[in-house]
Amino acid sequence: MSVFSASVTGARLATGFSLPVLVVLSLGFVAVPLTASPYVLEAILLPFLALSLAGLGLNLLTGYCGQVSLGSAAFMAVGAFAAYNFDLRTGLPIPVSIVLAALTAAVIGLVFGLPSLRLRGFYLAVSTLAAQFFVQWALTKFSWFSNGSPSGIIAAPVIELAGLRLDSAVGRYLFSLTIVTAITLLVHRIVSGPEGVNLIAVRDNETAAKVIGVPVLRTKLVAFALSSGIIGIAGVLWAFTYLRTVEPAGFNLDRSFQILFIVIIGGLATIRGTFLGAGLIVVFPLLLGRLSAFAFDGLIDAGLIKLIERIVLGGTIILFLIAEPNGLSAILSRLSARLRALVRRG
């Protein structure tokens, strides 16, 4: 590890992974495929993985580099449609199409990141809305992107790896988990290395960063490109492994806000927080749905139930922001510190 790596808490094993990370990885790669029901995989884990990855991409940009974006769903859409078209038109292996899709999303992210060289905060956020509307418009307007499909909804290709068709829920889950794990490790390496210093320096004090020679403009553009590339891959996972269709409608402003909430609820500039935030955003509405079905079934109509759910969800987010602005990650830190203290006391 480089000298820049942030101080490490907890034991590190010979592999360089901390114990909790190893536990989570072995649960994810071994226990879950053996035990999880198709429902859990399809309704919870697949969207969770795709949204976690999107959150990770946005956190790199917003949490680490301090650039607010409301265009995340646009870059998901770019990734999904680019992967679809590379697959359709080149016949390259799927992983190659995904890499090309990530590059496409990165380039488009770079272009929409250019205003960040001039704009800040609220104004930048508004300018990233341009990406959101432009991409959705282009994808609906030009049917070439959806291969001329009249509805604009197209079936995603089945993922094939070395002749192996990954169309079962477990297969898609493992594919998604592998990609998310690899990118998470990459992001960890980036943010704990010298580039992480640049990102946080730009976020914390742009003037000071500039005066000491941190390449501010380059750092912002790198953040936009990396972030959009990662979010692009998240879009591929969303379309190819979760929905199994590719369509512009799911990549709307609501989705962009959802990803922003994941980052805020989880905690800015924390990797594990992003996963916690995504977990909450995916699971909470399901729980709420169950609960309200149990409480109100037959009493009031389904539309009203949906509305109540949204209000409760919104209220929870607001409460959360007031009670713990540093997010779930901070809560976890406190809990584990308390736990460690208990263990020590015996």
Partner 1 sequence: MLSVLTGGLEAARLAQPPIAARVPELAPESIHAPHSALALEGVSLSFGGIHALRDVSFDLRPGEIRAVIGPNGAGKSSLVNVISGLYQADAGYIHLGGRRLRHLRPEALPKLGVARTFQNLALFPGLTVEQNVAAGLVFRRRHGLLAQLAGLPGARAEAAEVADRVRDVAGFLGITAHLHRLVSTLPYGLQKQVELARALVASPKVLLLDEPMAGMTATEKAEMAAHVRSARDRLGLATILIEHDIGVVMGLSDRIAVLDHGVKIADGTPPEVRRDPDVIRAYLGAEAA
Among residues 325, 331, 316, 258, which one has the least CA distance to residue 48?
Answer: 258
Q: CA dihedral in degrees (47, 247, 81, 76; nearest 10)?
A: -40
Q: Does 337 bind partner 1 (CB under 8 A)?
A: no
Q: Interaction with partner 1 in 284-313: which residues (CB under 8 A)?
A: none
Closer to partner 1 by CB, 14 or 34: give it: 14
Q: Please identify which residue in the block is written with the tokens 């759910």.
A: 309
Residue selected from 13, 126, 186, 293 as contacting partner 1 according to rule CB under 8 A: 186
Q: How many CA atoms lie within 13 A of 127 on its CB side?
A: 17
Contacting partner 1 within 192-251 (CB under 8 A)? 193-195, 197-198, 200-201, 203-205, 207-216, 222
Q: Looking at beta carbons only, is 200 or 276 nearer to partner 1?
A: 200
* Residue 81 DSSP SS3: helix
Q: How far is the CB of 117 from partner 1 (least distance, A)?
A: 13
Nearer to partner 1, 41 or 68 (CB): 68
Strands 245-246 and 164-165: unpaired
Shortest Cβ distance from residue 197 to partner 1 (Å)? 5
* CB of 186 or CB of 286, closer to partner 1: 186
For residue 205, the minimal CB distance to partner 1 (Å) is 5
Tell whether residue 103 is a contact of partner 1 (CB under 8 A): no
- Treating both helix axes as pointing N-terminal to C-terminal, what angle do 253-266 and 327-345 enclose, rounded to 10 degrees? 30
Q: Least distance to partner 1 from the beta carbon of 213, Å?
A: 3
Burial group, residue 177, by CB count within 10 angstroms (0-12, 13-18, 19+):
buried
Least Å from the CB of residue 261 to partner 1 = 21
Nearest approach in angstroms of CB 272 to partner 1 is 16
Q: What's the rounded Cα separation, in Å, for the pair 63 and 323?
A: 19
The set of residues, in sequence order, having a beta carbon less than 8 Å from that of 169 and lying 6+ positions away, is 38, 41, 42, 46
Q: How far apart are the first and last CA of the chain?
A: 33
Site for partner 1 in 258-287 (CB under 8 A): 269
**C-alpha dihedral, 243 to 249 to 253 to 254, nearest 10°:** -50
Give me the least distance between CB of 290 and partner 1, in Å please: 39
C-alpha closest to that of 316 among 245, 250, 265, 276: 265
Of 210 and 244, nearer to partner 1 (C-beta) is: 210
Judged by CB under 8 A, does residue 31 bind partner 1? no
CB of 218 to partner 1, least distance (A): 10
Residues 120-159, one symbol each (x = binds partner 1 by CB under 8 A, - = not), give ----------------------------------------
Compare residues 194 and 315 and give the one whose CB is closer to partner 1.
194
Smaller CB distance to partner 1: residue 227 or 258? 227
Nearer to partner 1, 219 or 258 (CB): 219
Q: Where are the alpha helices (DSSP H) in the chain?
A: 19-26, 32-35, 38-39, 46-58, 72-90, 94-113, 121-141, 169-192, 194-204, 206-211, 216-237, 253-266, 271-296, 302-323, 327-345
Residue with tokens 């607010």: 68
Binding site for partner 1 (CB under 8 A): 2-4, 6-7, 186, 189-190, 193-195, 197-198, 200-201, 203-205, 207-216, 222, 269
